[in-house]
Structure 1
Amino acid sequence: MNIWKKRIKRWSYEITGIALGSFIFAFGLNYFIIANRLAEGGLTGVVLILHYLFDWPVGLTYLLLNLPLFIAGWRFLGSDFAWKTLVGTVFVSLAIELTKHYQAPMTEDLLLASLYGGGAVGLGLGIIFYLGGSTGGADVVARFINHYGGWPIGRGLLLVDTIVIVAVGIFFGLTVALYTLVAVFVATRVIDFVQEGAYSAKAATIISKKTKIIGEEVVSKMGRGATVFVGRGAYTAQEKDILYCVVSRSELVRLKALVYEVDPTAFMIISDVHEVFGEGFRRWPYKRKSGAVDG
C-alpha cells in the first residue's frame, strides 16, 4: 500500500510539473512567437507554418500531427516515457488553446520577441524534460531516423530543425528565419540550464612528473579529492600518472597556482562540469529505496 502511495505521489508531482511546463511553453509560444509571426524548430515549426498559411488552429494541429508519430513510435519510447510523452503532448495542445488570447504582441521588436519567446519556450520544455517527459514531435522523428537510418538522435534533431527553418525562410523570408534561429538557440540554452542547474564546476586533468605531490597538495591544502590514472605517452611510450580532480569555479585559480608552484612544466587541461554529485558537492536529488543494500 505504501508503494502505491509513493507512486501516486510521484505521478502527481510529475503530472503537475509537466502541466506547469506546458502552460509556460504555450504562453511563450502565443505571447511572443505567434504574436510576432515568428516560428520555431521541430514539429512546432511545422504547425506554425500551417497556421500562418492556412489559419489552422495551433493546439489542435499540434495534437493531430503528434498522435500518429506517437502511436508509430510507441515501441521505441518505452512505456514510462511514452506515457509521459502522451501527457505532455495533450497538455501542450490544451495549453496552447487556452492561452491563445495572449497573441496580442507585447513588443514589436523581433529581437526581443525572439529572446523572450525562446526563453519562455525553453523554460517550459526544460521543466517537462526535467521530469522525464517529452512533447513528442521531432523527438520521435529523430528516434525513427536513428532506428532505420543509424543516425545519432542529436543529428536527427538537427536535420529536422534545419529543414523546418529553411522552410520558414522560403515561405516567410530570411528575416523571420534568422529571428527564429535566435529563438531556437535561446530555447536550447534555457533547456540546458533547467536540466543541468545553475551550479557548475571545473574539472582539471593534470599530467606531470610530480603528480603524487600535486595530488597530496590538492587533498591537504584544498580539501578536495583526486584520482590518479595511468597513461602512456604516444611518442615516448613511457607510462605517466594522470591526476584528475573537480573543483568549484572559485577554487580554480587556487588550483592552478598550486600546480604551477609544484611543477611549472605540468600539462593541465581545464574543462567545464555542469553537474557534480557526491561528497563536497551537491547531494544526489533522489531518495534511497527502502530495503536497498550497500554494495
Structure 2
Amino acid sequence: MFGLKIKNIFFIILGAAVFSFGIVHFNIQNNLAEGGFTGITLLLYFIFDLKPSITNLLLNIPVFIVGWKLLGLRSFLYTLLGTLSVSLFLELFYIYQFSIPLSNDLFLAALFAGASIGVGLGIIFRYGGTTGGVDIIARLVKKYIGWSMGRTMFIFDAAVIILSLATYLNYREGMYTLVAVFVGARVIDFMQEGAYTARGAMIISPYQKKIADLIATEMDRGVTVLTGYGHYSKEKREVLYCVVGRNELVRLKNLITSVDPHAFVSVTDVHDVLGEGFTLDENKKPIET
C-alpha cells in the first residue's frame, strides 16, 4: 500500500529501537546532550522533566506538515513511521530501563551513545525513513546542496549543544557530548556509504593489455579500458580501471609491478559496490528495451 515495503518498515522500526535505546541508556543516564530535535527534547527533559516521547511528537508536528509537501507521500509515511516508532520506544525504554554503570567513564558512555544513535539513524536513513526534525532537513540539504547528512546534522547538533551548555550541561559533559555527536555523525556516513569498502585502481602503462589480461585471468576481476590524453606527452593513452576487494589490493599491486614497475597507479576508496563480482543477484535481470 502506498508503495511501502515490508523490509523498509521492519528496518525503520529496528533503527528507531536502536536509536531510542541509546538515548535512554547512554544519554539520559549519563547526562549527555544531543543535537537537533532530540537534543531539544533532552533539554526539556533535564530542565522541566518533560517526557522525551511526548515532546518528540509535539516538536515534529510542524515538520510533518513541511515533510508532506517536500518529501512526497511515501517518504512522508516512512518519516511518520520513524517518528512514531522513536516516541514509542523512548517511552518503553524509559519505563523499563535498566542501569548501565558508565557514569565514571563518560568517554566510554559517549562512544556507546554515538555508536548506538549513529547505527539507529543510519539504518533508518538507509531504508528511506527519517525520525523527523533535523533528519528531514539533512535529507533536503543532501539533495539540493550535496552535503552529507552527517555533516548537516553535526552543524545543527552543535547549535543545540551550545544551548544545552548554557542551561544544564557542565563543560565536562559538554565535551563528551561533542565526542558522542562526532562518533554518531561518522557512523551515519559510514552506514550511508556502505559497510563494504573496496578499492578502485586507475592504471596507466604501455603494457596495459598484458596487465588487463592478468587481472582478468589471475584475479578474476573485470577491467574497463578508458581513453585518456597525456597533457605533457600530447598522446592518447588507454587507462585501465578496475575495482577489487580491500584484501586484494596488495595482490593487484604486485601483479602490476611484475609487468611494469614504472606503471602509474592511483588507488581510491570505493563504497557500496554493486554489480557482478560483488553484489550481483543472479535472479534479477536487466530491464529489456
2:93 to 99, 121, 131: 99
Partners in 1 of 2:116 and 2:52 — Cα distance?
A: 17
Aligned position for 2:124: 128
SS of equivalent to 1:98:
helix
Whether contact under 8 Å (1:32, 1:103) holds in the other structure is no
Whether contact under 8 Å (2:118, 2:184) holds in the other structure is yes
Aligned position for 1:166: 162
Deviates more, 1:207-216 or 1:62-71: 207-216
Deviates more, 1:195-204 or 1:223-232: 195-204
Partners in 2 of 1:103 and 1:151 — Cα distance?
A: 42
SS of equivalent to 2:257:
helix
Whether contact under 8 Å (1:232, 1:238) holds in the other structure is yes
The alpha-carbon distance between structure 1 residues 136 and 235, as it changes in their structure 2 partners (threshold 3 A), is: farther
Whether contact under 8 Å (2:8, 2:127) holds in the other structure is yes
Aligned position for 2:106: 110
Query: Per-residue displacement from partner, 1:57-91 (whole Å, max 9, x unpaired)?
Result: 11111111111012123221121111100111011
Aligned position for 1:78: 72
SS of equivalent to 2:29:
helix
Whether contact under 8 Å (1:196, 1:274) holds in the other structure is yes
SS of equivalent to 1:78:
helix
Aligned position for 1:33: 27
Task: Output aligned runs, 1:248-259, within 5 Å.
Answer: 248-259=245-256
The alpha-carbon distance between structure 1 residues 143 and 252, as it changes in their structure 2 partners (threshold 3 A), is: closer
Whether contact under 8 Å (1:30, 1:99) holds in the other structure is yes
Aligned position for 1:141: 137
Q: In structure 1, what residue type is equivalent to 2:44? A: L
Q: In structure 2, what residue type is equivalent to 1:18? A: I
> Where does structure 1 differ by over 6 angstroms across 4 or more consecutive aligned residues?
144-147
TM-score (norm 2): 0.86
Whether contact under 8 Å (1:35, 1:103) holds in the other structure is no
Task: Output aligned runs, 1:1-295, within 5 Å.
Answer: 11-101=5-95, 102=97, 104-108=99-103, 109-142=105-138, 151-154=145-148, 156-171=152-167, 172-195=169-192, 198-284=195-281, 288=284, 293-295=287-289
Q: In structure 2, what residue type is equivalent to 1:49? A: L
The alpha-carbon distance between structure 1 residues 66 and 231, as it changes in their structure 2 partners (threshold 3 A), is: same
Q: In structure 2, what residue type is equivalent to 1:281? A: F
Partners in 2 of 1:241 and 1:185 — Cα distance?
A: 42
Deviates more, 1:135-144 or 1:216-225: 135-144
- Normalized per residue, the structure richer in helix is 1
Partners in 1 of 2:161 and 2:281 — Cα distance?
A: 39
Q: In structure 1, what residue type is equivalent to 2:106? A: L
Deviates more, 1:251-260 or 1:116-125: 116-125
The alpha-carbon distance between structure 1 residues 61 and 146, as it changes in their structure 2 partners (threshold 3 A), is: same
Percent of aligned pairs with the same amino acid: 45
- How many equivalent residue pairs? 284
Whether contact under 8 Å (2:154, 2:185) holds in the other structure is no
The alpha-carbon distance between structure 1 residues 161 and 231, as it changes in their structure 2 partners (threshold 3 A), is: farther
Deviates more, 1:209-218 or 1:232-241: 232-241
Deviates more, 1:228-237 or 1:68-77: 228-237
Q: Structure 1: which 5+ residue stretches go unaligned?
A: none
Partners in 2 of 1:145 and 1:256 — Cα distance?
A: 39
Partners in 2 of 1:283 and 1:263 — Cα distance?
A: 32
Q: In structure 1, what residue type is equivalent to 2:123? A: I
How far apart are 1:27 and its partner, in Å? 1.2
Partners in 1 of 2:141 and 2:191 — Cα distance?
A: 27
Deviates more, 1:79-88 or 1:268-277: 268-277
Q: In structure 2, what residue type is equivalent to 1:207? A: I
The alpha-carbon distance between structure 1 residues 238 and 25, as it changes in their structure 2 partners (threshold 3 A), is: same
